[in-house]
Structure 1
Amino acid sequence: MSLKGKVILDKPLAAPAAEPLRAQQTLAEDDFIELDDAPEPGLAAGLRPRRRHRLWWSGVALLLALLVVHSAITLWQTWQDSRLLGAAWSLALGLLALAALGSLWRELRLLRRLERVSRQRAWAEQLLVEQGSGRARAFCEQLAHQSGLDRSDAYQRWLHSLDEQEQDAEVLTLYSRQVLSVPDRQARARVLKWSGEAAVMVAASPLAAVDMLLVLWRNLRMIEDITGCYGIRLGALSRLRLLRSVLHNMLYAGVSEAAIDMGMDLLGLELAGRLSARAGQGVGAGLLTARLGLQTMDLCRPVPWQGDEKKQLGGIRRALIDKVARLMTKSE
């Protein structure tokens, strides 16, 4: 067995270095890697959270069924013991059942009216996108009749300003700017009123926890006040549905809009913070109330905002800071 000497290779066994990227370098199609397999369509559906509230509603339904069965058995035993007492209990339970059914029917009717606003808004968005004509006028007349705006002077001016040659998008834009501007002004005044009161309440009181509970209760009152400006009545179910939609839209708002509003809110808090810490807390609570009110206006409006119609928190923010500043100046 013979040992060989050291073998020296002419070229090093090293991988060639990748070409560094240069400024303004243009990449060709060969520079990209194509994926062989597309993601499975059922994968995204499998990653969605399950609806756990179904189990909760099933438990509630079972509990109600047990209560009904127990009440029926108790009523039957009462009839066996005393007919007069059984008749009295039957009358009381019958009246209670009729009242419950009436309340349930009213809640479902108000909930359907709120859902109708969402369908009308979706139809208005479709009319604004399509290049059609002849359908928007009847749609706007129906909206005005349902909300009670057909008796206003703005609605009459809108009717006289219409032309048969106008497109559906133009008709909806005119209706939004001429007719819906009336409830918009009323709702914006409500938002300024409730947000200003919330800011003053938090800024003037030392009990912040109690004040925040009061602000939460007053925000629910503000939502009902704003919906009344657009001719919408709320029940318990419809109020919960609207509140959930408002909070959902506030959490998942557009990134650019949220960034702009957040920057302006921080500016407002900084200006208010120069007065005192309580003033900054008051302006923060007022801005949150104002944002909640503006989002409620957005959902209650049957026609989307057009152009620069959607006013941000600029005017309300400045009014809140001025109101809190006057309050802190008087207290000092």
Structure 2
Amino acid sequence: MTRRPTAFDLKADDVSHVRPGEAPLPDAAVIVEEAAETEDLPVPLPSARRRFPWSRLFFGAVAGILSLAIGLWLDQLVRELFARDDWLGWLAIGLIALAVLAVVAIAAREIAGLIWLRRIDRMRKRADLAAVRDDRPEAEAVVGELMTLYADRPDLAPGRRATEARVHDVIDGRDRLVLAEADLLAPLDAAARRLVSDAAARVSVVTAVSPRAAIDVIFVVVATLGLIRRLAALYGGRPGFIGLARLTRLVLTHLAVTGSIAIGDGLAQQLIGHGLAAKLSARLGEGVINGLLTARVGVAAIDVCRPLPFLERRRPQLSEIMAGIRAPRAK
């Protein structure tokens, strides 16, 4: 039996509005099924349109032209030297060979630094995921890779022996990572705190007594880059120029992402605590602020260079790092 179309008021008392998955009222004369809210539905993101890499083509063509120009210039130089005297030509060929050898060595070092950065980042992500899931096989693989990374470090030999002796007594995956963190990374973390504290102290003193702002900027940049390089070397890396630039970008990105943590990390308390010193001396206040910012960059660099995330060990706090730094006296 077909039902004839009927008009009814949606606001009437005997009309029951139900959504998908809900039961209607038992005494309802009319049941109206409503669609799901559009806000609850996933909105597909527009796919990025692939464009032709004109910029890469441009820089590749320019690099090819420069390579051809340098090659032709060297060829002409060697021919002219051979025309003058044979020993000058052979000397030029020997110097060119040494230059090519140096370029190959530099390129190999840069590639090794980039591979280390990728390896550390992948290891840290795998360890974090294994700790969250308590994945024993993945944790064993990460610990094995960590042991391989520090296999040629004599200063970590006691930690390697302790990890090998106790790792088979631990069943849970997270506990295996915690054990490796305590045995292998605890001494490195202590050394990293000292490096950051020393760098912050140097920046505070130099920028407090420096007579020119340009000297302050140059010294802070050099000290910050040197700190990042030393932290990378401490945790097992040897970044070259390109690797250091990439590592610095990762540190600054991490610092921008976790910048809000600085308020709870002791930065605000340190600033308030040194407020009186800043009022007494403007240069002294600038030195303290520069030291605090250097320490903040150092803490971010530890997070980026560390092969494991902080599991049971506490992340370095600015208050702890700056505790041993006394406010320098302005001259």
Q: Place the TM-score, normalised by the shorter chain, in its bin.
A: 0.7 to 0.9
Q: What SS is found at the alignment partner of 2:287?
A: helix
1:111 paired with 2:106, answer no
Q: CA 1:179–1:94 in structure 2 vs 1: closer, same or farther (change >3 Å)? A: closer
1:129 paired with 2:128, answer no
Measured in 1, the distance between the counterparts of 2:228 and 2:181 equals 21
Deviations 1:114-151 (A, max 9, x none): 32222222222232233322443453243234222685
1:62 paired with 2:65, answer yes
Aligned to 1:249, which of 240, 247, 254?
Answer: 254
Do 2:126 and 2:138's aligned partners in 1 also have CA atoms closer than 8 Å?
no
1:236 paired with 2:241, answer yes
| Structure 2 match to 1:8 | none
Measured in 2, the distance between the counterparts of 1:232 and 1:55 equals 33
Measured in 2, the distance between the counterparts of 1:288 and 1:53 equals 36
Deviates more, 1:302-311 or 1:133-142: 133-142
Q: CA 1:51–1:190 in structure 2 vs 1: closer, same or farther (change >3 Å)? A: farther
Do 1:134 and 1:167's aligned partners in 2 also have CA atoms closer than 8 Å?
no
1:263 paired with 2:276, answer no
Identity %: 27
| Structure 2 match to 1:10 | none
Measured in 1, the distance between the counterparts of 2:253 and 2:133 equals 28
Deviation, 1:192, is 0.5
Deviations 1:156-187 (A, max 9, x none): 33333334451221100121133211100011
1:101 paired with 2:104, answer yes
Aligned to 2:304, which of 299, 324, 331?
Answer: 299
Deviation, 1:241, is 1.6
Pairs within 5 Å for 1:154-193? 154-193=159-198
Measured in 2, the distance between the counterparts of 1:263 and 1:309 equals 19
Q: What SS is found at the alignment partner of 2:167?
A: coil
1:144 paired with 2:137, answer no
Measured in 1, the distance between the counterparts of 2:258 and 2:57 equals 28
Structure 2: tracts of 5 or more residues without a match: 1-32
Do 2:193 and 2:316's aligned partners in 1 also have CA atoms closer than 8 Å?
no
Q: CA 1:38–1:227 in structure 2 vs 1: closer, same or farther (change >3 Å)? A: closer
Do 1:141 and 1:150's aligned partners in 2 also have CA atoms closer than 8 Å?
no
Structure 1: tracts of 5 or more residues without a match: 1-28
Measured in 1, the distance between the counterparts of 2:147 and 2:74 equals 48
Deviation, 1:281, is 0.5
Q: What SS is found at the alignment partner of 1:206?
A: coil
Q: CA RMSD in A?
A: 3.4
Deviates more, 1:127-136 or 1:302-311: 127-136
Q: What SS is found at the alignment partner of 1:311?
A: coil
Q: What SS is found at the alignment partner of 1:152?
A: helix
Deviation, 1:277, is 1.7
Aligned residues: 295
Q: CA 1:316–1:53 in structure 2 vs 1: closer, same or farther (change >3 Å)? A: farther
Q: What SS is found at the alignment partner of 1:296?
A: helix
Measured in 1, the distance between the counterparts of 2:249 and 2:96 equals 34
Q: What SS is found at the alignment partner of 1:41?
A: coil
Do 1:203 and 1:282's aligned partners in 2 also have CA atoms closer than 8 Å?
yes
* Aligned AA (1:118): D
